[in-house]
């Protein structure tokens, strides 16, 4: 009985110690160790286990991160104002690094990589991809990330097919209803229902034409040019590039999905 209890305590100690120090396995091969550090950082971000992230970063003022057009200087700034809040906000994260190429020069290493990400943030689903560069320094306890720079890939142009595909991929019931011609725009509307509510989509020849047409819309959504419009439900009007979308409905999830895909609404009922 004593031996069994002692063995149990030993296993508990080893398990606890492994949680307290989730450092990547060191192989003695610098290139492999650098790659493992980057993969552990990605794994921690994907699973929401901050200790995995924490263990492969420098904790000093030497940390610099450039992501999404924003800069963080120093570990405390990055941890408290970027990484931790972002990890807390994201759910169902899928994050992957590929095409990792490491270069070693003494106790300094740099690596380039591609990444893909998908996650749920509040009521919307986001996906992205891009390229990145990381700089690491070799310390007594392994390779630590001191610099991270990532940039997202160019998004496909806005189109009716792309928007409908994005809404369906986000789980919405989208059905094609009809085509109508309104007196206030120069192109017909492709009409869909999204969760049973109407979505009118207008595809113009280019962004300049769409911008001119959008300039006719009053802030409240009516009138549009000389046409007084009586909407059957609150209108939410968006424009991105050559596409104008008019959502006539009250579902906040649909509205948020349109904001995610097209940006803030340009006219209509308050969000």
CATH number, domain at 99?
3.10.450.50
- 201-205: which pairs have CB atoms within 8 A and are 24 or more residues apart? 201/160, 201/163, 201/164, 201/243, 201/244, 201/245, 201/246, 202/243, 202/244, 202/245, 202/246, 203/159, 203/160, 203/242, 203/243, 204/242, 204/243, 204/244, 205/242
Question: 91 lies in which domain range?
Answer: 2-152
Q: Are residues 98 and 199 in the same domain?
A: no
Quick check: helix, strand or coil at residue 41? helix
Residue 176 and residue 107 share a domain:
no
pLDDT value at position 192? 97
Query: What's the CA gap between 267 and 271, in Å, rounded?
Result: 10
Same domain, yes or no: 6 and 139: yes
Q: Tell whether 130 and 6 lie within a shared domain.
A: yes
Q: Are residues 22 and 140 in the same domain?
A: yes
Nearest to 125 by CA among 259, 246, 236: 259
The answer, yes or no, to whether residue 2 has pLDDT greater than 80, is: no
The maximal CA–CA distance of the chain, rounded, in angstroms, is 90
Nearest to 99 by CA among 126, 54, 133: 133
* pLDDT at position 5: 53
Is the pLDDT score of 225 beyond 50? yes
**pLDDT tens digits for range 118-177:** 888 876 777 788 999 999 999 999 999 999 999 886 666 789 999 999 999 999 999 999
The HSE-up count of residue 113 (CA atoms within 13 Å, CB side) is 21
Q: Residue 75 pLDDT > 80, yes or no? A: yes
Q: How far apart are CA 193 and CA 174, in angstroms?
A: 6
> Mean pLDDT across the stretch 171-191?
95
Q: So what's the pLDDT on residue 153?
A: 67
Same domain? For 166 and 145 the reply is no
Which stretches does DSSP call E strand in 106-249? Answer: 108-121, 124-139, 142-152, 174-180, 189-194, 197-203, 235-240, 243-248
More confident call, 23 vs 81: 81
Asked if residue 147 and residue 20 are part of one domain, the reply reads yes
Query: Which residue did the predictor score with more confidence, 65 or 23?
Result: 65
- Least confident interval from 1-15, 128-142, 168-182, 197-211: 1-15
Report the number of distinct structural domains present in the chain.
2
Average pLDDT over residues 53-67: 96
């Amino acid at each position: 009985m004593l031996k069994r209890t002692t063995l149990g305590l030993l296993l508990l100690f080893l398990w606890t110690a492994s949680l307290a120090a989730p450092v990547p396995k060191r192989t003695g091969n610098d290139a492999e160790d650098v790659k493992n550090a980057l993969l552990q950082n990605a794994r921690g971000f994907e699973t929401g286990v901050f200790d995995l992230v924490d263990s492969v970063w420098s904790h000093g003022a030497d940390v610099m991160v450039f992501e999404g057009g924003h800069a963080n200087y120093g570990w405390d700034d990055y941890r408290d104002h970027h990484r931790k809040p972002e990890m807390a906000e994201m759910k169902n994260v899928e994050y992957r690094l590929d095409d990792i190429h490491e270069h070693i020069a003494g106790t300094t290493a740099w690596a380039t990589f591609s990444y893909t990400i998908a996650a749920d943030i509040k009521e919307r689903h986001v996906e992205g991809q891009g390229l990145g560069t990381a700089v690491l320094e070799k310390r007594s306890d392994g390779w630590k990330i001191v610099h991270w720079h990532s940039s997202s890939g160019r998004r496909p142009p806005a189109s009716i097919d792309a928007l409908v595909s994005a809404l369906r991929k986000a789980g919405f019931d989208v059905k094609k209803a009809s085509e109508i011609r309104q007196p206030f725009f120069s192109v017909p509307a492709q009409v869909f229902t999204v969760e049973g509510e109407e979505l009118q989509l207008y595809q113009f020849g280019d962004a300049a034409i769409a911008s001119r047409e959008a300039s006719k819309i009053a802030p409240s959504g009516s009138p549009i040019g000389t046409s007084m419009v009586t909407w059957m439900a609150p209108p939410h009007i968006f424009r991105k590039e050559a596409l104008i979308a008019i959502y006539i409905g009250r579902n906040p999830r649909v509205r948020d999905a349109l904001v995610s895909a097209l940006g803030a609404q340009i006219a209509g009922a308050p969000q």
